[in-house]
Amino acid sequence: MKRIVVLGLAALVLLPAIDSAVAQEDEWLRFPYKMSVSLEGGIGMPLKPSAFNDLWNASFPVSIAVGYSVMPYVDVKGWLTYAKWSISEIPAKDAIGIGGVTEISGGSVSTLFYGATAKIIPFPNSRMMPYVEVGGGYFQASGEDLTVSRNEQPLLVNSMEGASGPVFLGVFGMEYGFNERWNVFAEFDYYIGFTDSFAPGDLVLNENEDPTEGGDIQIATVVLGMILKI
């Protein structure tokens, strides 16, 4: 931990020197604007628990954030991300283990993440601005009831208990400055929701199985977005 703190402080001290060694562009790319509003959307993949990874499709999360420039190299942001994950019907039918299933319906999982991050921007006055973000907050997840049918006759209706807990967010991204007001960006986001009760596998249990063991939720997303500087 001490090494990490020392390296972090050293990086902050060296950033101005590194920045001065790089050809700078127009000052308006970052300042004097202090506030920003961003909107982003992309594609996300569930990574954990294993049932979530195996039996649910990719999603299209959307996020909104409000940022404030603390110093040239650091922004702080408050953000909210929502995604709805639909179940993969063919593998889910196999996992349910009831012969002759002709239809499954429902079974989607909704996730809501919100919190704050610190955004580190090594070259704040360049048009191309790589950055990293680290932060945390809270998440909530819930599952829609899943109905298993054979020839339009319901055989089984399963539900999942909701889950919530603290969340960690790590981001790597690249921002491009268009003009005084608008920037665009692309980034990779990694969410970890810490909980012992997230169990989407409960939705695909057959009648003879015990509830699945819960665990952390992990999601990776690749997104594109726009930033309005105020």
Report, as an integer, the average pLDDT of 162-183: 93
**Which residues, other chains included, contact 158 with Cβ-Cβ below 8 Å and sequence gap of 6+?**
107, 145, 146, 148, 202, 203, 204, 205
48-57, 182-191, 210-219: segment of lowest average pLDDT: 210-219
* Structure confidence at residue 230 as a pLDDT band (50, 70, 90): confident
Determine the pLDDT at residue 198: 95
Q: Answer whether residue 26 is part of any domain.
A: no
Alpha-carbon dihedral 41, 60, 172, 9, rounded to 10 degrees: 90
Q: What is the DSSP letter of 211?
A: P
Determine the pLDDT at residue 8: 45
How many domains, in total, are found in the chain? Answer: 1
Q: Answer whether residue 172 is part of any domain.
A: yes
Q: Is the pLDDT of residue 20 over 70?
A: no
- Domain hosting residue 79, numbered range: 33-229
Q: Answer whether residue 106 is part of any domain.
A: yes
Q: Answer whether residue 115 is part of any domain.
A: yes
Determine the pLDDT at residue 19: 46
* Structure confidence at residue 30 as a pLDDT band (50, 70, 90): low
Q: What is the DSSP letter of 20?
A: H
C-alpha R_g of the chain: 22
Q: Answer whether residue 113 is part of any domain.
A: yes
Report, as an integer, the average pLDDT of 171-188: 92
Determine the pLDDT at residue 192: 97
Written as six digits, the tokens of 71 are 């110093």
Q: Answer whether residue 9 is part of any domain.
A: no
Determine the pLDDT at residue 78: 98
CA distances from 13 to 19, 22, 115, 214 (A): 11, 16, 27, 43
Q: Answer whether residue 149 is part of any domain.
A: yes
1-15: per-residue pLDDT in tens? 444 333 344 444 444
The CATH number of whichever domain residue 196 belongs to comes to 2.40.160.20
CA distances from 158 to 48, 87, 102 (A): 20, 13, 16
Q: Is the pLDDT of residue 205 over 70?
A: yes
Q: Answer whether residue 191 is part of any domain.
A: yes
- Tally of CB atoms within 10 A around 102: 12
